[in-house]
Structure formats: structure tokens, C-alpha cells
């Protein structure tokens, strides 16, 4: 089965209309198999428009519809006769005598079905069959059943179909409980089949259709035996939802992310980092199980701080009780879905690259300024991992030979000069030298030195703060210039708490870096990690 995923319903309808139009152009006296339901309405609108513009001619076309309620009067506005007249037949130059639907008013449904099947065969069989799909996987009115090797027949509708179709009727009791429908065997005799699916209500059945084997409990899976079927669906019907988990020092954030990279559900738990690793992971697994039972999630992605040994599938993180901890295996024990893990800074970069400031770029670099400097390198919308999975430690590039010692064992690392901790240190040093400055007053008032202190003192006209900031920006700019020279990314995105300073940070930084590569502030901020983790579940990330 070929699959074409369109952005939306309109695109899906146009794609389908082009196929039908080509069929009519190639064989003007072709036999079309048609469907009802809300899904093909856009297709019929397009065909009517093309016919009006003279692009296709229906005068020699013959049609057979899949099904009709039973019993139902042909002039009932819920009959499929009525539907087809309204949406297609009266809008195109088709000969109404060449259009066929099972007769829902017949007294003898058995003979009607036999004749209907015979008429299709006598017309030479269906060249192109259009299908919708019910939420339970039915095609036509072929409901889940043990025996699906059927031709046109009278069938009973399941409760779920009556429920789904009741939206067209005044009340549920008005929905007929039976129908005449082409059988699966009749449908499979068509030369070509176009199956349409649109909207979130079809998501579950589309993923069953694509991921499960042929089985009669999802009748549409029978189409897999046909050599020429194309499924045309929109993103809502196709795109999976993923669960993103962002493990942090204080809280663990969870988000269900849809095919448009929107977080449709959010939750969080305290990390409780004083507990053993196993208890933390068990908590995460429990929350994942609960969320995945409520949303059609197809994979779970986890962003964790620390170093991941991808060969051993273990994590070691300084700020958490993770020491060669087999997070991956523990999660897999209770989550019955694919689980993916990556470093949290990488996840945040991926999230920002796909759904935030980097969305328009193929390559992007994310710099997270915090206690240290975290980095995520995105090349071609994928995390660049390096040979062993630990690339991106940009905080440890040397910007000062014989500079300040760093916890990594080297000296002069960028994060010793340009992280928020470094800015705080530089602020404290300046205050010691200038105890009467405005900066000193601000600190005395706030009882704390943090990343915002310099910005506040600057605003109050403090020249000491100006000098600290100028020096800090110089350090930040040096590192950014270096990475721009190496990667020439489409954008450099700054994240971390200090990025809340916005233009006050960005404007002088952009000026200092003086590059054609745009430097931006993260748009997604805390959500970047969740979205990026969720995106790990998508193929090829």
C-alpha cells in the first residue's frame, strides 16, 4: 500500500481529485467506484469544479457506489442516493442512468445484491474505487467480522458505526441498523483503489491499518492483498503522537506531542533526586504508562542530563543519582512502546530546531547558558551525535590558554567565562573592587547575586555593571564566533534562564559577534526539551 500524507483535508481532496481526473482522461468510459461519508466531499467538490472548467468530462463515465442504508427511502436526505446527487451527480455532466447505488427501498435485498454485483461485472468491473474508512476499520459497510470474503450483501451495522454515523441524523434511533454493501471481495476486484482518511478520529484506525497484519477485525487491512492501493490521508489522520519526557534536577516534565509538534497534554512530577535511581525511573515509567493509556502515543522519548553510554545504554549524571544507570532497560520493562533516550541539551536543540526558532533552518546550534554551557548541534534537522554519541560539549572549548581550571580537568573552558555561573562570579569580583557602586546597592537590596543582577544595575545607570556586562558579552561572543566559524549554521539559538533578558542580552551580543548568521533567543524555552524528547520517537532522529 502506497501512502501519501498531505498537510490537510484540502490537499488530500485535491490529490485524490487529480487521480480520478487522470483516470477519466485516460479512459473516458471508465467505471468509478464511489464512496459516501464526510471524507470524500472535498474530492467531489474538486471534481465538480474541474468539470465546470472543462478539465474532465463525465458524459461516458459509469459509477457504482459502495453502499446504501437499508431500509431507506431514496429521497430521504440521509440516503446515500440523496448524498451522491447533492455532492456529485447533479453538479457534473454525468448521465444519471450511468450512476448506480444499491436500492435501499427494495423488498428483496438478496436479489438486489445479486443484481448489483452482476451489474458491476457486466460493466467490466471497477477501474478506480474510492474508499473512506470507518473509525472501526470498516470499508463500505463491511464491519469487523469473521467472514469477509463477501460480495454485495445485506449486513448489520455495529453499534460503533451507528454511533459514528448518528451525527448526520436527528437522533441515534433514526440511524438504520442495516445496509446493503459491496463486499470485501467485490472491492478487491477493482483495478485501482484510493483510500481516503482525514482527521484525528481516523488516526487510530490508520495506524492499525499501517502497522498491523491482515485481520478481519480491521476490515481495511484486507486491502493489503491488493496490488494497487494508495492511501491518501492528512497529517492529523496519519501523524503519530509521541510522549516526551524531560528529566531535570527538580522536576520531570511530560508532554504528549502531536504531528504538528504541539504539546497537547502536559504534566510534571518532582524528581526527588534524594531517592535511589530505581525509584525515580519507576515513577517516570508509571507516569508514562498512565499517559500512554490515555493518548494514542506510539513512542516515548526521554531527555536526560548527563553522559549517555549508548553502547551500554546507561546514564551517568552528576546532579542525579545516575551512575551507569540502565535507565533505558528499566523503562522498557514497563513501557510497552519503543523508548528512545538522548541528552537533555540535545533534545532541547532538536525541539527548537524543528518547532521553534530553528524551524526554517536545516542546521542550527543551541547554546544553553546555565551553571555550565550546554550545546546541541543540529545538522539536517537531526542531532549530531559524534562517533560515540557525546558530541556537542561546546562549553568545554578552550577560549583562554592557561585560563581558569575547569571541572573537566582542562583550563580556560568557555563555560568558565560565559555561563551564568561565570557571570555571577564576574559580578561578585566587580562588587568587591567597587563596594560603593550601584551594582553593590542592587545586591544589598536583593540579598542575592544572580544572572539578572547586572541587567538590573545597568538599567539604573551603573558603569561598573556596564563594564562587567561588556566583558561577559565579549566572552560569550568569542565562543559563538568560534562555533559559527566551524559550523556556519542557519541560526544560533540562546536558551537558559538568562535568555529571559531578551533584547538586553541579544542586541549587544549580535553586535559583538558581528556575523551574518542570525542569533536568536529560544522561542520554546522549557517546552523545547519536551518537544525534542518526543521527536526522538520519530524515525531517523
Catalytic residues: 67, 136, 138, 143
Residue 141 sits in the site that holds ligand GLP (CB under 6 A) = yes
Residue 33 sits in the site that holds ligand GLP (CB under 6 A) = no
Residue 414 sits in the site that holds ligand GLP (CB under 6 A) = no
Nearest-5° angle of CA 100, CA 22, CA 94? 30
Residue 44 sits in the site that holds ligand GLP (CB under 6 A) = no
Residue 35 sits in the site that holds ligand GLP (CB under 6 A) = yes
37 or 306: CB nearest ligand GLP: 37
Rounded CA-CA distance 144/147 in Å is 9
Residue 99 sits in the site that holds ligand GLP (CB under 6 A) = no
| The three grid cell numbers given for residue 442, joined into one nine-digit string | 542592587
Shortest Å, Cβ 286 to ligand GLP = 36
70 or 141: CB nearest ligand GLP: 141
Residue 299 sits in the site that holds ligand GLP (CB under 6 A) = no
Phi, psi of 510 (to 5 degrees): -60, -45
What region does 239 belong to: left with phi over 0, alpha with psi -120 to 50, or beta?
beta
56 with 21: CB under 8 angstroms? Answer: yes
Shortest Å, Cβ 81 to ligand GLP = 13
Listed in sequence order, the residues at least 6 apart from 188 whose beta carbon sits closer than 8 Å to its beta carbon are 222, 223, 225, 226
Residue 134 sits in the site that holds ligand GLP (CB under 6 A) = yes
Rounded CA-CA distance 349/527 in Å is 11
Shortest Å, Cβ 127 to ligand GLP = 19
Residue 334 sits in the site that holds ligand GLP (CB under 6 A) = no
Helix extents (H) in 88-147: 109-122
141 or 487: CB nearest ligand GLP: 141
Rounded CA-CA distance 132/138 in Å is 9
Q: How far is CA 135 from the centre of its chain?
A: 20
Neighbours of 211 (CB within 10 A): 10
Shortest Å, Cβ 239 to ligand GLP = 18
Beta-bridge mates of residue 519: 492
Rounded CA-CA distance 330/267 in Å is 21
| The three grid cell numbers given for residue 54, joined into one nine-digit string | 472543462
Cis omega before residue 279 (within 30°)?
no
Residue 67 sits in the site that holds ligand GLP (CB under 6 A) = yes
Residue 195 sits in the site that holds ligand GLP (CB under 6 A) = no
Residue 352 sits in the site that holds ligand GLP (CB under 6 A) = no
532 with 347: CB under 8 angstroms? Answer: yes
Shortest Å, Cβ 301 to ligand GLP = 31
68 or 258: CB nearest ligand GLP: 68
Residue 133 sits in the site that holds ligand GLP (CB under 6 A) = yes
Alpha-carbon dihedral angle through residues 105, 107, 109, 113, given to the nearest 10 degrees: -70
Binding to ligand GLP in span 158-177, by CB under 6 A: 161, 165
Binding mask 437-466 for ligand GLP (x = CB under 6 A): ------------------------------
Nearest-5° angle of CA 149, CA 150, CA 155? 125
Rounded CA-CA distance 279/231 in Å is 45
Among 17, 33, 37, 127, binds ligand GLP (CB under 6 A): 37
Stretch that binds ligand GLP, among 89-97, 134-142, 267-275, 401-409 (CB under 6 A): 134-142
293 with 238: CB under 8 angstroms? Answer: no
Cis omega before residue 494 (within 30°)?
no
- Cα 50 to Cα 6, 11, 32, 493, distances in angstroms: 20, 15, 16, 47
Nearest-5° angle of CA 234, CA 264, CA 198? 15
Residue 39 sits in the site that holds ligand GLP (CB under 6 A) = yes
165 or 522: CB nearest ligand GLP: 165
134 or 356: CB nearest ligand GLP: 134
Shortest Å, Cβ 70 to ligand GLP = 12
Shortest Å, Cβ 150 to ligand GLP = 15
Shortest Å, Cβ 241 to ligand GLP = 20
Q: How many residues bind ligand GLP (CB under 6 A)?
A: 14
Residue 66 sits in the site that holds ligand GLP (CB under 6 A) = yes
133 or 468: CB nearest ligand GLP: 133
140 or 376: CB nearest ligand GLP: 140
Binding site for ligand GLP (CB under 6 A): 35-39, 66-67, 132-134, 140-141, 161, 165
Amino acid at each position: 500500500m502506497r501512502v501519501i500524507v498531505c498537510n490537510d483535508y484540502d490537499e488530500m481532496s485535491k490529490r485524490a481529485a487529480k487521480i480520478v481526473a487522470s483516470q477519466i482522461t485516460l479512459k473516458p468510459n471508465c467505471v468509478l467506484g464511489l464512496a459516501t461519508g464526510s471524507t470524500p466531499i472535498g474530492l467531489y467538490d474538486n471534481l465538480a469544479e474541474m468539470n465546470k472548467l472543462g478539465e474532465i468530462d463525465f458524459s461516458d463515465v459509469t459509477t457504482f457506489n459502495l453502499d446504501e442504508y437499508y431500509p431507506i427511502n431514496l429521497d430521504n436526505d440521509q440516503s446515500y442516493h440523496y448524498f451522491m446527487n447533492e455532492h456529485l451527480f447533479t453538479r457534473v455532466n454525468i448521465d444519471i442512468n450511468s450512476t448506480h447505488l444499491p436500492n435501499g427501498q427494495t423488498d428483496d435485498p438478496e436479489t438486489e445484491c445479486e443484481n448489483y454485483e452482476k451489474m458491476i461485472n457486466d460493466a467490466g468491473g471497477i477501474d478506480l474505487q474510492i474508499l473512506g474508512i470507518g473509525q472501526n476499520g470498516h470499508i463500505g459497510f463491511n464491519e469487523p467480522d469473521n467472514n469477509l470474503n463477501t460480495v454485495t450483501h445485506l449486513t448489520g451495522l455495529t453499534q460503533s458505526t451507528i454511533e459514528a454515523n448518528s451525527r448526520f441524523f436527528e437522533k441515534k434511533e433514526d440511524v438504520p441498523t442495516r445496509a446493503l454493501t459491496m463486499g470485501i471481495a467485490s472491492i478487491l476486484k477493482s483495478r485501482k483503489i484510493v483510500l481516503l482518511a482525514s482527521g484525528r478520529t481516523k488516526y487510530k484506525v490508520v495506524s492499525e491499518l499501517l502497522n498491523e497484519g491482515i485481520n478481519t477485525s480491521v476490515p481495511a487491512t484486507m486491502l493489503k492483498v491488493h496490488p494497487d492501493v494508495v492511501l491518501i490521508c492528512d497529517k492529523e489522520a496519519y501523524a503519530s503522537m509521541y510522549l516526551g519526557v524531560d528529566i531535570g534536577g527538580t522536576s520531570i516534565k511530560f508532554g504528549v506531542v502531536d504531528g504538528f509538534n504541539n504539546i497537547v497534554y502536559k504534566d510534571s512530577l518532582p524528581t526527588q533526586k534524594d531517592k535511589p535511581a530505581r525509584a525515580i525511573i519507576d515513577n517516570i515509567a508509571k507516569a508514562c504508562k498512565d499517559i500512554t493509556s490515555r493518548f494514542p502515543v506510539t513512542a516515548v522519548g526521554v531527555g536526560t542530563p548527563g553522559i549517555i553510554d549508548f553502547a551500554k545504554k546507561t546514564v551517568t549524571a552528576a546532579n542525579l543519582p545516575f551512575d551507569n544507570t540502565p535507565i533505558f532497560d528499566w523503562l522498557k520493562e514497563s513501557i510497552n512502546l519503543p523508548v528512545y533516550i538522548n541528552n537533555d541539551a540535545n533534545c532541547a536543540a532538536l525541539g527548537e530546531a524543528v518547532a521553534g526558532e530553528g524551524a526554517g533552518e536545516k542546521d542550527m546550534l543551541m547554546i544553553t547558558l546555565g551553571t555550565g554551557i550546554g550545546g546541541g548541534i543540529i545538522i539536517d534537522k537531526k542531532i549530531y551525535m559524534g562517533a560515540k554519541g557525546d558530541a556537542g560539549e561546546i562549553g568545554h572549548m578552550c577560549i583562554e590558554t592557561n585560563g581558569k581550571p575547569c571541572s573537566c580537568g582542562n583550563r580556560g573552558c568557555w563555560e568558565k567565562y560565559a555561563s551564568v555561573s561565570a557571570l555571577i562570579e564576574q559580578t561578585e569580583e566587580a562588587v568587591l573592587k567597587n563596594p560603593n557602586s550601584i551594582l553593590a546597592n542592587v545586591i544589598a537590596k536583593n540579598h542575592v547575586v544572580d544572572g539578572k543582577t547586572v541587567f538590573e544595575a545597568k538599567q539604573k545607570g551603573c558603569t561598573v555593571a556596564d563594564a562587567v556586562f561588556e566583558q561577559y558579552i565579549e566572552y560569550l561572543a568569542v565562543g559563538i564566533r568560534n562555533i559559527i566559524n566551524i559550523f556556519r549554521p542557519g541560526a544560533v539559538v540562546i536558551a537558559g534562564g538568562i535568555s529571559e533578558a531578551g533584547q538586553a542580552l541579544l542586541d549587544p551580543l549580535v553586535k559583538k559577534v558581528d556575523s551574518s548568521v542570525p542569533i536568536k533567543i529560544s522561542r520554546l524555552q522549557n517546552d523545547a526539551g519536551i518537544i525534542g524528547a518526543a521527536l526522538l520517537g520519530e524515525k531517523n532522529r
